Structure formats: C-alpha cells, structure tokens
Amino acid sequence: MSLWCDEVNDHVSRFGLKIHKTLFHTRSPFQDILVVETDLLGRALMLDGMWMTAEGDEKSYHEMLVHPALCTAPHIARILVIGGGDGGTVREVLKYPEVQQVDLVEIDELVVQACQQHLPSIGTAWHDPRLTLTIADGIEWVKTTKPGTYDIILVDGSDPKGPAVGLFDHAFYEACARALTPHGIFVSQAESPVLMQDVHIDMVQALQKAFGHAYPYYGTVMIYPGGLWSWIYAARTTQPTDLKAERVARITETTEIWNKAIHHGAFAVPNRLQQALQRS
C-alpha cells in the first residue's frame, strides 16, 4: 500500500509526495520535525506539516535566495543567514571566495541536527572555517547587532507561523536595515504569490518602508504551495541589475538553476501582482 505525505494549505489546496520511509520524527520546543524518504525527490524535510526542502528540489530555492544578492552587492565579506538549518543557503554563500565570515543563526538546534544526519547532501559546508553556527533567535540577534555589521542578510525562514512569525514584522526589517552597511542587501523568501498574495504584498510594502527600495522576484519551487514562489530583494542603493560579471561567470559554473538570464527574468512582476501592488 502506498503512503502519501501531504501539506494542506488552509484547507483549500494540498501537495503530497509518495514516501516509503520515515527517517526521523520528533517534536522540538518549537515545532514538529519530520524527515522522510520520497520516491520523487529523495529525502525531504517537513516542519509543522509544511514542506521545507527536498534533495531533488532544493536548488530551485537556495540558488534563487542567495545568488541575486551575492552577485550584485558591492562587498560580500560578512553575511548573516537567519534560519536555514538545512545548510543549503550557507552552502551557496560559501561558494564565493570573497566571503570572509558567515553567521548562521538558527533557532531550533534539532532541525540542524536532523538535517546534518539525514540530509547531508544539502548541507555540505558545515565544516567551512568561515561559518559560525549559533543556536539563537535571529530576531533578537539582529536587534543587538552593531549597526553596519553585515554586507548581506538572508532570511531563510518558514511560513509566518510558530517561531517564524516575527520574521515578517516591520520592526524586524528596520533592525535588519540598521545591521547592514549603507550599500547592503536584504533578501527574504516571500511566500506564495498565488496562495498568500496578501502576505507577499505586505512584505513588499514593509520592506520598501524600511529600505526605500524592494524588488520582488519569482521562481518555481515544486514542493512549495502553488509551485510559484517568491523572494524580495531590498536595499537602499544597490539594484538587482548591478550584476558583477566576474562573479556571475564564476558562480554559474556551479549552479543548476540560477544564471544571468534566469536572474533578469525572475524580477519581471506578473501583471496581476503589479496591479495588486499599485492598489495597496
């Protein structure tokens, strides 16, 4: 008999994967953690019943989160990653030799342990000496960070539920703006523009207020609600078009999804969302 594991989205849609083995299941102080072996996408992680990442699909997400900022920022020496306990985001960041220090701040130690043990193909940079892992609340971390500390902040959090709720708050965005250098870049995953359009629009508006400029961009991530996913690139001065040719050429030798053409196309906002942004 086949066994299916589904993510149900507000009782209006669901996405399921056929699984043949449960590798890990526990309840942390923050959330339910499940790692399964799927027929289609290999090993996959769920948190509180929501798909977070899968071996066969993760680069569609991690490459799109990381490389737009890392290939446009004037300086990329110091990077902060909030969330990202699977290790995929820091793996992509640490491909750049210019990066000197990466602070990974993850609230749930059990997520890190589960991913290190059961999803080692995603987190391949845990032992890089430039990486410092801290188990802490990323929101509090940013509040106490000295102004101008980071060149880039990447938020690799889950949906606005449970421990991730504060990652969608305007006060958090203001704190991130202070923690960045004047030419720094903030990027966050920004939910499904199909099933969570209101959240997506609210994030764009809040980041525009905090930084002055916010640029939503889009890509396909099969395991996420609706299949079409979004991120937001926010900055005071730097723009998504400020690509550094040498970095782009070098990094596209390592990527499966992201390249210069994908980058430019991703920032094309669909008419429906343009109209929603104009109305709001």
Q: What is the pLDDT of residue 160?
A: 60
The answer to whether residues 26 and 122 belong to one domain is: no
3-state secondary structure labels for all residues of 191-225: CCCCCCHHHHHHHHHHHHHHHCEEEEEEEECCCCC
d(CA 44, CA 22): 10
Task: Look at 12-16, 95-99, 162-166, 218-222 and tell me which has the smallest mean pLDDT.
Answer: 162-166
| Cβ pair 156, 221 in contact under 8 A | no
Q: Is the pLDDT of residue 93 over 50?
A: yes
CATH code: domain of residue 66: 3.40.50.150
Phi, psi (deg, nearest 5) at residue 237: -125, -40
Q: Using one digit for the tens of pLDDT, what is the confidence trace for 198-228?
A: 999 999 999 999 999 999 999 999 999 999 9
The answer to whether residues 173 and 250 belong to one domain is: yes
Q: What is the pLDDT of residue 78?
A: 99
The answer to whether residues 110 and 192 belong to one domain is: yes
Q: Residues 6 or more apart from 7 whose CB is under 8 A from it? A: 14, 15, 16, 46, 49, 50, 51, 223, 225
Q: What is the pLDDT of residue 227?
A: 94
CATH code: domain of residue 36: 2.30.140.10
Catalytic residue among 48, 57, 103, 156: 156
d(CA 236, CA 131): 27
The answer to whether residues 39 and 65 belong to one domain is: no
d(CA 137, CA 84): 12
The answer to whether residues 27 and 95 belong to one domain is: no
The answer to whether residues 30 and 96 belong to one domain is: no
The answer to whether residues 78 and 171 belong to one domain is: yes
Query: Which amino acid does the sequence have at 78?
Result: R
The answer to whether residues 157 and 240 belong to one domain is: yes
Q: Using one digit for the tens of pLDDT, what is the confidence trace for 3-40?
A: 999 999 877 889 999 999 999 999 999 999 999 999 99
**End of a domain among 53, 72, 91?**
53
Total domain count, the chain: 2
Q: What is the pLDDT of residue 212?
A: 97
| Cβ pair 77, 180 in contact under 8 A | no
Q: What is the pLDDT of residue 1?
A: 47
- Distances from the Cα of 135 to the Cαs of 93, 108, 120, 236, in angstroms? 19, 7, 19, 29
DSSP SS3 for 236: coil
The answer to whether residues 63 and 173 belong to one domain is: yes
Known catalytic residue: 156? yes
pTM: 0.95
The answer to whether residues 150 and 223 belong to one domain is: yes
Parallel/antiparallel/unpaired status of strands 42-47 and 32-38: antiparallel
**End of a domain among 53, 71, 93?**
53
Q: Which domain holds residue 96?
A: 58-279
DSSP SS3 for 90: helix
d(CA 67, CA 57): 17
The answer to whether residues 7 and 98 belong to one domain is: no
d(CA 162, CA 44): 20
Q: Residues 6 or more apart from 184 whose CB is under 8 A from it? A: 73, 148, 150, 151, 152, 153, 235, 236, 238
pLDDT band at residue 163, thresholds of 50, 70 and 90?
low
**End of a domain among 53, 70, 85?**
53
End-to-end CA distance of the chain: 49
Q: What percent of the chain has pLDDT over 70?
A: 96
The answer to whether residues 171 and 255 belong to one domain is: yes
